[in-house]
Amino acid sequence: MRSPHRWVVLCASLGGACSSGGAPGDDTAREGSAGAGHAGTSAPTAGSSSGVAGAGGSASGAGRAGQGGAGAGGAAGTAHGGAGSPAFGGAAGNAAGTGSAGETVGGGAGGASAAGAAGTSGSADGGSAMMAGGRGGVGGAPLGGGAGAGQGGGGSGVAGAGGDGAGPFTCNQVTGGQLVEEWFIAGFEKVVDNPRWQVKWRVDGYLEEWANPQSSFWTAQVDSTCAMNTGSPDRIVFPVVSFTSRSRADWVKTIEQALTTFKAKYSGIRRVDLMTQVRGPDNMLCPTAPTQGETIVVPPELDAAIDDVAAAHPGFVFVGPRVQARSCSDIQGGGPHLTSAGNTAAAVPISSYFVSAQ
């Protein structure tokens, strides 16, 4: 920012008024340039305009617009040509240019995060070799929350703190089919706080079953039960698995039905994390064909639908890690079941994500 010009104030010796700016205000004191009338910069940047949630919503949250800003008035110099004197805005521009860069007014700090990457897009869990990308969730990473509107910056902080989605939880329940149970017992439960985790599963426990409140799958047993509230978990981790081809809109519709059913079954639920099955390397088929009617390729429509549902429920629904097999040797035949070593390997990035959000 330019240093204010010094003005030599000359007074007429014969009873005339003293000129405070020299030239008429409308010529030299436009809108408060420091020294020429602008109060700081003409449009102080608000921190970083929109808070990038990353690592838990470090959330500059849109910051407060610089306190100088349009100054107490650069006031177009005033009628008497106050040409940016410190009292009117010239000096006020000093710290106003960047506006306390990220003074968290609306976004708040999102707390710790396993996702580390951006709040709206980026790699989940920091993009390890087995991670397939994905989003850290609308709330920013796992402990995110509702979006916080930043004040004065003209932007809104995506992902801040707050929202019921922040833990800790008394009982985290992983719900799904055998594909889910396999990685749960292959190392996942040894990494997370096991007394607060359980798995409810049944063979062929696909999306359609959990979306149907009348399905017999709801009577499925619970393994590795939580120490408390095993019948009323307050957090659901739901890997969405179905081998029925759908449009993006149909995926969204069925996932929403499952959410409605979860809330009806568990009145104390505060958070849902949506995942997919462990996919093939680079989300591609292996040379050996998978079991007929099944696959190891997650359709892009499903990934997009999960993002859509999370965006529709900020602070409640989050996008979990998207994990892929290291190689085709991790997969039994052509899949979709993994080998013992494959499940153990897949449990590592999954547990790493949830261990800091439980």
pLDDT 10s digits, 212-242? 999 999 999 999 999 999 999 999 999 999 9
Q: What's the DSSP call for residue 19?
A: P
The fraction of the chain above a pLDDT of 90, given in percent, is 53
Q: Between these two residues, 28 and 243, which has the higher pLDDT value?
A: 243
Domains along the chain? 1-110 (no CATH), 124-144+164-354 (3.40.50)
Residue 235: strand, helix, or coil: strand
Residue 124 half-sphere exposure toward CB, CA atoms < 13 A = 31
Residue 356: predicted pLDDT: 84
Average pLDDT score, the chain: 68
Residue among 171, 160, 169 nearest 314 (CA) = 160
Say what the pTM is. Answer: 0.59
Residue 87: predicted pLDDT: 29
Give the chain's count of helices (H) and strands (E). Answer: 8, 6
347 band by pLDDT with thresholds 50, 70 and 90 = very high
pLDDT 10s digits, 58-101? 322 333 333 333 332 333 332 233 333 332 333 333 332 333 33
Residue 29: predicted pLDDT: 29
pLDDT 10s digits, 111-159? 333 333 333 333 333 334 465 544 433 333 333 333 333 333 333 333 3
